Chains A and B, each alone.
Chain A
Amino acid sequence: MQLTQSSVGRKIIMAVTGLVLISFVCVHLLGNSSMFFGADAINAYAQKLHSLGPFVWVFRLVMLAAFAIHLVFGIQLTLENRAATPETNVQVKRLKTGFGAETMIVSGGVLFFFVVYHILHFTARVTNPEIYVPLGDAGMVDVYFMVVNGFRSALPVIVYVAGMIFLFLHVSHGFQSLFQTLGLSNDKSLPVMGTFGKLVGFVLLLGYIAIPLSIVFGYIKL
């Protein structure tokens, strides 16, 4: 009750689910980087994941739960915060907060639609069914072929680059925020975590957009 209804309890839930999500985003990037080591590398990585069997689904359900909880409480808290501030002063000058912090609900919303598109694109095989070709007999697809062809047209490339810019904005505030919420920061560590959080966001941005851009500029090709 306290955890799911109180002000601080829900913040803690936001921080824990945020930690789960950002950990996944980091590991996902490491896995995806296999694209730079050729078709065999990324396909071996995909095969290894598939060999985990039911654990893949357990993992997916945990991620889905974390994502859904983060989304629902994020919207709920934002609505409450807006209600707590029915009108603002004519002149408002912010001293400390930044664009990323003030637009968390916007960047979060964009990331939700990005993740839906991403799953339809590369997991559910809805938007571009032509990029899937079988590999071997075990029901696997050629992931290298899928990714390279998935970024052949301009639209997905634009969507992914834009999505990752919003990820950067979200992480640049969220990373240090989760440490503060979990009570893990003090006056000395807080500014360091603020800078480190922006750095993490920037590394994620560069890392993720490197893959579609390498395909566009022909560094990664079939």
Chain B
Amino acid sequence: MKLKLHVWRQNGQNDKGKLETYDAPNVSPDQSFLEMLDDVNLDLARTGRDIIAFDHDCREGICGMCSQVINGVPHGGQDRTTVCQLHMRKFKDGDEIFIEPWKARAFPVIKDLVVDRNGLEKIMQAGGYTSCHTGGVPDGNALPIGNPVAEYSMDAAECIGCGACVASCPNSSAMLYTGAKVAQLAVLPQGKVEAQQRVLAMTEAAKENGFGNCSNHYECQASCPKGINVKFIAKLNREYMKALL
């Protein structure tokens, strides 16, 4: 099929950036979105033009490197799907597709569709770990953690840290990301020890690194490729109140 792509081109933070239009004349419905972009880039390289820079790594939906806003929605709007797992059969012949980077003050554009997501790492560094000595790997059956708690923690731990929650949020808030990281540890015995200082430090780091405040739009959950639930933001709020009291 034939597609028309409107791609955001921006050469670093000091460049204003603009949309440029490219034709993708020979797209297979079996290609992934990134493979389609690879073909466009091949054509650009062959004709001596600057290729479109975009982040990618595992291409199987688990690494969290994909970071494209497709037709106004991070990851393209297919339920629980990263850009690499989005396939061209979801589009029709003749479609025009807008491809833009994550846009937030906390995510400065490095080039084209590549943004600097170190802000998320800074939030993790502020408290997304346990520093108590837990010894070697324990026997799974010896862990005194019930299944519902383990499942709850794993649901939160599904977050791949792509930043779609920030990109979709009208306030550029990282509260779903922070909530997931706080919640996954807060319910486990190893994480409970530092739960109070963790929630205070991580929410403060989110603010310091330029992310906005959550005002409960829930766009984050809707665009999250892992379907992280906003109940983890409520959990963060509960943890925060416990830490203040």
Contacts and interface: CB of A to CB of B under 8 A. Distances in A.
Interface of A: 2-3, 6-12, 77, 80-81, 83-97, 101-102, 104, 173, 176-177, 180-187, 190
A97 B170 contact: yes
Nearest to A89: B100
Contact of A9 (B6, B106, B231, B244): B244
B231 A187 contact: yes
Given A80-B212, A81-B172, A84-B106, A91 B231 contact: no
B212 A180 contact: no
Nearest to A3: B244
Nearest to B70: A91
B73 A93 contact: yes
Nearest to A92: B72
A101 B214 contact: no
27 contacts: A6-B200, A6-B204, A6-B207, A8-B214, A8-B236, A9-B244, A11-B214, A77-B213, A80-B212, A81-B172, A81-B212, A83-B105, A83-B212, A84-B171, A84-B210, A84-B213, A85-B103, A85-B170, A88-B103, A89-B8, A95-B222, A96-B218, A97-B170, A180-B230, A180-B234, A182-B237, A182-B241
Nearest to A86: B105
Nearest to B100: A89
B213 A7 contact: yes
B81 interface: no
B86 to A, nearest CB: 15
Nearest to B204: A6
Contacts of B129: none
B242 to A, nearest CB: 9
Interface of B: 6, 8, 19, 69, 71-73, 77, 98, 100, 103-106, 168, 170-173, 175, 200, 203-204, 206-207, 210-219, 221-223, 229-231, 233-238, 240-241, 244
Given A7-B213, A84-B173, A91 B234 contact: no
Contact of B231 (A11, A85, A101, A186): A186
Given A6-B207, A11-B213, A84 B237 contact: no
Contacts, number: 136
B69 A180 contact: no
A87 B103 contact: yes
Given A2-B200, A177-B216, 10 more contacts: A83-B105, A84-B172, A84-B212, A89-B72, A91-B69, A96-B219, A182-B241, A183-B234, A183-B238, A183-B241
Interface of chain B, main secondary structure: mixed
A148 B69 CA distance: 55
The CB with the most chain B CB atoms within 10 A, among A11, A12, A87, is that of A11
Nearest to A179: B234
Contacts of A181: 216, 237
A90 B18 CA distance: 9
B155 to A, nearest CB: 10
A101 B219 CA distance: 11
Nearest to A91: B72
Contacts of B231: 185-187, 190
